[in-house]
């Protein structure tokens, strides 16, 4: 997993819970590098899950809630760091439909070794279904990104989630724009 995910996660933890919490979750996790991450490095994704688990325990907050919040937080990072990814789209569905074909293609140019989730979209009008697939099983993170995307484009919306594979490696999101 790319280091930017780790560095941003720790920045989010500091912003929401304070530096002491960052220190606590790093100290209580078994990390290969003692929590010294760089944005351009590549690290085992299970270390992020360890940090998440420790944060969940220390903050008494469900992991799914924390991952969703991190997805929302990370959207701002992507928007500020990669504004070109958002140009040319007038509708949230247009943007979400471009994730695999356009955005992930561009991400792979920047980070050829990145292992990205896949997204399949279908639907139009006021409804869309988006299927997430990833061995990392971080659908709640994707959920936060989806919600932040829809808000960015000014849509009042509802997003529901249906687990398609019990281990969480495949999840369908049903996105409805309220008119």
Residue-wise pLDDT tens digits, 14-51: 999 999 999 999 999 999 888 999 988 899 999 999 99
Q: Read off the pTM.
A: 0.93
Q: What integer pLDDT is reported at residue 114 of this predicted model? A: 81
Contact 146/158 with Cβ under 8 angstroms? no
26 and 82 part of one domain: no
Separation between Cα atoms, residue 102 and residue 121, nearest integer Å: 13
The parent domain of residue 96 ranges over 68-177
Q: State the CATH number of the domain containing residue 114.
A: 3.90.1520.10
Taking only the tens place, the pLDDT of each residue in 77-135 is 999 988 988 889 999 999 999 998 888 888 888 788 888 999 999 987 899 999 999 99
Taking only the tens place, the pLDDT of each residue in 51-75 is 999 999 999 999 999 999 999 999 9
Domain boundary among 61, 95, 110: 61
54 and 95 part of one domain: no
């Amino acid at each position: 997993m790319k280091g930017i995910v780790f560095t941003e996660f720790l920045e989010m933890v500091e912003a929401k819970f304070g530096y002491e919490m960052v220190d606590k979750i790093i100290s209580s996790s078994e990390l290969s590098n003692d929590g010294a991450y760089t944005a351009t490095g590549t690290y085992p994704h299970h270390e992020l899950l360890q940090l998440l688990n420790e944060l969940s325990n220390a903050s008494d907050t469900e992991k799914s809630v924390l991952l969703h919040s991190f997805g929302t937080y990370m959207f701002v990072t992507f928007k500020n760091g990669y504004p070109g990814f958002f140009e040319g789209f007038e509708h949230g569905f247009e943007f979400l439909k471009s994730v695999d074909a356009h955005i992930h293609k561009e991400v792979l140019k920047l980070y050829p070794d990145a292992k990205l989730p896949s997204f399949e979209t279908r639907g139009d009008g006021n409804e869309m279904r988006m299927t997430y697939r990833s061995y990392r099983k971080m659908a709640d993170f994707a959920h936060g990104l989806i919600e932040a995307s829809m808000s960015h484009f000014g849509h009042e919306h509802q997003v529901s989630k249906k687990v398609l594979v019990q281990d969480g490696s495949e999840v369908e999101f049903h996105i409805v724009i309220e008119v």
